[in-house]
Every structure is written in structure tokens, then in C-alpha cells.
Amino acid sequence: MDTAKLQQADVLIVGGGLAGLSAACYLARSGASVRLYEKSTGLGGRASTTNYDGFLLNRGAHALYTGGAAEEVLQELAIPYNGHKPGSLYVLRQGKLHVFPASVGSLLQTSLLSFRDKLELGRFFSKLPTLKTEELARVSVNSWLHETIKRPRVREFLTMFACTNVYSSALDLVSAEVLAYKLQLSLKHPILYIDGGWQTLVEGLRQAAVRAGAQLINNCRVEAVEYTAGQVQGIQLANGQRVQAKAVIIATTPQEALKLVEDGSYAPLQQIVQDLLPAPVACLDLALSRLPDPTHPIVQDTAGPHFMTSQSLYARIAPEGGAVIHTFKLLDPTRPSEPQEDERALERLLDSAQPGWRELVLKRVFLPHIQAVGMLPTVASGGYAGRPGPQVPGIHNLLLAGDWIGAGFLADASLGSARQAARLLLQEGRLNTRIEAISVLQ
């Protein structure tokens, strides 16, 4: 084999979402030669935004939870964005809208809870700041709420709130550590809707990676990761071409990552992926000529794990006068979903919260089953500690990044694991060795 004809790079990255782009930025800025491959025509993955005549629709509702690794990474990489804190939250219960008790003032104001209910909910939130969340790693969300909350109406409210926060209705399986930690963060740090949609973050990361010298290749599918004697050697593209590298970072979904190594038969990755509990959601996203009822822009439904947000009321994602609404239903990962019924459930939520919406629709996108999170921290796995780390067992310099790797939730895990993978390669001197011509790359 003529190895001289092989392309080479210090690091190859598979996947052009937030994790892959962030890793590319860190590595390229440190002087490594980086090449990123994305199978789609555009970058961003689930963080991509589609422009429909000026209406900017994310793939489902997206919000930036500040105070965690995502905000840190964006600051470290100097990624510009404008974010806006949403307000005016409501709870839909038995056809009636109530003020969402998100603060002391709204707790006193809401008609959702009785006086004694409000006292119990107030005590629950007052104890959160000093809670040691890691002690809840082996406790389910359901168990925690049932042990902590005695009043049925408060438990009903917190169950609804928990589903939205952990992006799952499987509260008997999800670790309470996730909910408790997210609630602690939200008490101190705002949740933001981003001007321009999440494509703003994708484009900012793309520009930063290119400026640093990374090569980003769209519409190019990676077929396999190749290694020998426990050392990664590079990748094989779908067109048969091989590319050698000192290190490879897989920044894809868990299922795609598994497929890339020994065609899905690599046992250590099999073990990781087979134990995953994903967070599937059904999303109905709308572009409207106007918002029917601006007084109820954000609504959660106690009758089911349903959520609606009129993000265009806060962020610049629609033309003047127009509106963008995102709704989603949190699905049970242990049971099959019924897309038609899921869509009807979201329509009923819209009928209650934004009556008249049907006559105003300019664009409608229904996503029956997408993954909000690749791996939920579960009771069985021990919460965040049970998540896999960046290093693939048994293959030196093959690393993983994504929302299913390491600590944190959603974008915190994606960007945090990307930074961790890059640091492993840079701080441990893993890129100092020369790329050898490997004869097994045939």
C-alpha cells in the first residue's frame, strides 16, 4: 500500500454538532491540525436552525441554561450571542390557566395552589441551595418527590415541572441528581432564548474553528474508525478513502458512535450504548402570522408532560409582527409512542393556551420522535457518575464527546465533554508522537 497518498491530520473529528465544533476550536487554537467531517450538508446537528421566510425554527424548543459548562465554553471560545430571559409562565390544569409559581411573588399570586400547598412548595425550594445533589444519584425523581412532598397538588405540580426539566416522563428511572442540580442552577442563573436561534451558536463556533485553522468538511460520511494494537490510526470514509491521524474524536449520537467501531461489534462500546436511556420528545413547531395571545406565552400542562413556548416574544427569531411557537411532548423511552396522538395532544395544548392559532399558521413542522438527550443519568447507573467518560476503553486516543458523555445536561454535557476530550489530548501530550504509516490500512 502507498501510504504516502493517505491524507493526514493530528486530530479527526466525526460530527459537526456543538460538541464536534467546540472540540475543533480548542484543538486548532492550540496548534493541532484538525479535520472535522459532517455527514449532512450543514453543520449543527440538533442545534441547527431552519429559516422559513424569516421565521427561524430550531429543531424543537431550545434554551441555553447558564451557569454550567456550556456558558463557560462559549465564553472561553469568545462565541458571541444575545440571550433573553423568558417570563410570564403559566400552568394549565383542567382547562384553566394559572400563574406559574417561579418566584416568591408568583407563588403568593398563583391560584394553582392552596395556602398550605404554597407553604410546602416554598419549603421545598428553600432547601435546594444547600442540598448535596450527588447524594440523590441513586434515588429516582419519583421516589425523591414522594419522600419529600406530602401534599398531592404540590406533588402534581413538581412532577410536571420535573418532566420538563429532565426531558423525560420516565421519572421512576431518571436520577433525582439531575433534577436537583438543574433546579439549583436555575435559582442562581437565568435560562436564555437566543437571538437568531441556535444557529447563532453553530455559526459562531464554525467561524471560530475556521479562524483557528480547522478544516470543516460537510456532506462527507465517515464509514469506520480504524485502529490496531489498541491505538487509533484514523478513519475510513464512505468513498473508501482513508485518513490517518494521531487521535479521533467521535462527536455523534451513541448509536452512530457504536456503528463506527468494528461495525457495532466493539464490546466496550456495546456495553455503554446498550445501557443508555435516551430522552425522546415529539415536537410541533409553528410559524404564525401573529401570536394569538401574548399574555400567555409559556405554558406547561399538568395533564401530561407537554410544554409550549412562544420564543419569538423574547428572542429575535421572527419577522416583525410574526410569531414562532415551539411545543413538545416528553415521551417515555420504555414504551412505543403514537405520533398521531402525540401531535393531537400538542394541538390541544395550543387550543387552550393560544386559541385561534390554527388560522394563523404559515409553517408547521412536526417532529414525531427526536432525541433531546442521548443518555439520561439513571438510578441504575448512579446518576452523572455512571455516564461514560471521553476515552473509549481499550483504544488509545479514540475519544467521545456529546450530550451523553460526562457530567452535565444537554449543552453543558456536549460542550463540556468536547473541552474535556481536547484537554486530554493536549495536556497529556498525546499529540506529540509522529503519525506512523500503518500497513493494516488497506
**Segment 212-216 mean pLDDT:** 98
3-47+200-276+381-427 CATH? 3.50.50.60
Q: What is the pLDDT of residue 127?
A: 94
Phi-psi region of 264 (alpha: psi -120 to 50; beta: other; left: phi over 0): left
Structure confidence by residue, pLDDT tens digits, 38-85: 999 999 999 999 999 999 999 999 999 999 999 999 999 999 999 999
Can you give the pLDDT at residue 335?
A: 87
How many of the other CB atoms lie within 10 Å of CB of 393?
13
User: Residue 436 has what pLDDT?
Assistant: 45
Per-residue pLDDT for 246 more than 80?
Answer: yes
The neighbour count for residue 62, using CB atoms within 10 Å, is 20
Percent of the chain topping pLDDT 70: 96
Task: Kindly report, residue by residue over 167-192, the tens digit of the pLDDT.
Answer: 999 999 999 999 999 999 988 999 99
Do residues 93 and 112 make contact, with C-beta atoms less than 8 angstroms apart? yes
CATH architecture of 103-186: Orthogonal Bundle (1.10)
Residue with cell 414525531: 368
- pLDDT over 90 at 230, yes or no: yes
Please tell me the distance from the alpha carbon of residue 225 to that of residue 334, in angstroms, as a whole number.
31
User: 100-109, 329-338, 432-441: which range is least confident on average?
Assistant: 432-441
Query: Residues 274-312: pLDDT tens digits?
Result: 888 889 999 999 999 999 999 999 999 998 789 999 999
430 band by pLDDT with thresholds 50, 70 and 90: confident
Residue 295 and residue 88 in contact, taking contact as beta carbons nearer than 8 Å: yes
pTM above 0.85, yes or no: yes
Please, where are the H alpha helices in 335-434? 339-353, 411-427
State the pLDDT at residue 96. Answer: 95
What is the mean pLDDT of the segment spanning 347-365?
A: 97
Domain ranges of the chain: 3-47+200-276+381-427, 103-186
Would you say residue 201 has pLDDT above 80? Answer: yes
pLDDT at residue 438 above 50?
A: no
At 303 the pLDDT is: 86
Q: Which of the four pLDDT bands, split at 50, 70 and 90, describes residue 406?
A: very high
pLDDT, mean of residues 93-111: 94
Which pLDDT value is given to residue 431? 87
* Cβ-Cβ contacts under 8 Å for 284 (sequence gap 6 or more): 326, 327, 328, 343, 346, 347, 350, 364, 365, 366, 367
Q: pLDDT at residue 2 above 60?
A: no
**Average pLDDT value over all residues in the chain:** 93
pLDDT given for residue 81 in this prediction:
98
Is the pLDDT at 428 greater than 80, yes or no? Answer: no
Say how many residues make up the chain. 442
Asked if the model's pLDDT at residue 439 lies above 60, the reply is no
- The pLDDT value recorded for residue 433 is 53
Q: Once rounded to an integer, what is the mean pLDDT over residues 430-440?
A: 53
Contact of 390 with 406, CB cutoff 8 Å:
yes
Average pLDDT estimate for 306-326: 97
